[in-house]
Amino acid sequence: MKTKRLFLAVSITALVLTVILISLKAYYVAIALVAGTLIMGYRELWSLLKRRGWPPLDERVKENVSKSIRNGFIFLVLALAFLMLPFSTIITTKSPNFVHVLGGLFVSASLVYLLSYLFYDRAEPGLGERWLRMLRIFLLVAGISVGVFIIGVVLHNFLSGLFKVEEPVFFVISVFIAPLACAVGIIGSLFIFIKGLLGRTIEG
């Protein structure tokens, strides 16, 4: 959130939408909206509570915020694209939990924004080129494994339906190999992320 005016506009909009959602008894979505807004505005809220003033806004902060918004938007688009896959759409749209999924998407995108900002603001300056290169590798492994999982599930279902037999290769890939690779990528990324945060804290 780049300016005081934008923060106030988002806060008022979120408040109005929350009242509307509560009146419609969409409590889960209302909770997700409030949680997502608080996560996205943590920097402003923390500054108002601790310093009784607005946080500083310079070119570095503007750049970090822009990158974080970009990452949150990309995540939201990819998540929605995943939900549009045939097997996912059938599961979610025919389930009463559909609104919960939408609320979860908003909170998840807000978390991506928050983690991105923390990375650009604190973790990245605390990491050297070697650790940043390793972080990119771990993130690439996690991203590829998610893609492999999706493709494996689709191909497994397609081949099983086509030949009327249980297809084993893509089943093993999507159930065992892809999740394991994703776990390795996520754990490695989190380790380097936390290392950058702690390194920045110690140096500061």
Which of 20-24, 77-81, 88-92, 134-138 shows the lowest per-residue confidence on average (mean pLDDT)?
88-92
pLDDT confidence bin for 136, thresholds 50/70/90: very high
Per-residue pLDDT, 202: 40
Q: Bigger pLDDT: 114 or 164?
A: 114
- pLDDT mean over 94-109: 70
Contact 68, 113 (CB under 8 A): yes
Per-residue pLDDT, 82: 74
Contact 127, 71 (CB under 8 A): no
Which tens digits make up the pLDDT trace of 142-153?
989 988 988 888
Per-residue pLDDT, 98: 64
**What integer best gives the mean pLDDT of the chain?**
79
Q: Bigger pLDDT: 204 or 106?
A: 106
Q: Structural domain boundaries of the chain?
A: 127-204
Cβ neighbour number for residue 106 with a 10 Å cutoff: 19
- CA–CA separation, 122 vs 139, rounded Å? 18
Per-residue pLDDT, 177: 93
- Residue type (1 letter), 168: P
The pTM of this model reads 0.69
49 pLDDT above the threshold of 80 = no
134 pLDDT above the threshold of 90 = yes
- CA–CA separation, 159 vs 181, rounded Å? 24
Per-residue pLDDT, 1: 46
- pLDDT mean over 92-121: 75
HEC-encoded secondary structure of the chain: CCCHHHHHHHHHHHHHHHHHHHHCCCHHHHHHHHHHHHHHCHHHHHHHHHHCCCCCCCHHHHHHHHHHHHHHHHHHHHHHHHHCCHHHHHHHHCCCCHHHHHHHHHHHHHHHHHHHHHHHHHHHHHCCHHHHHHHHHHHHHHHHHHHHHHHHHHHHHHHHHHHCCCCCHHHHHHHHHHHHHHHHHHHHHHHHHHHHHHHHHHHC
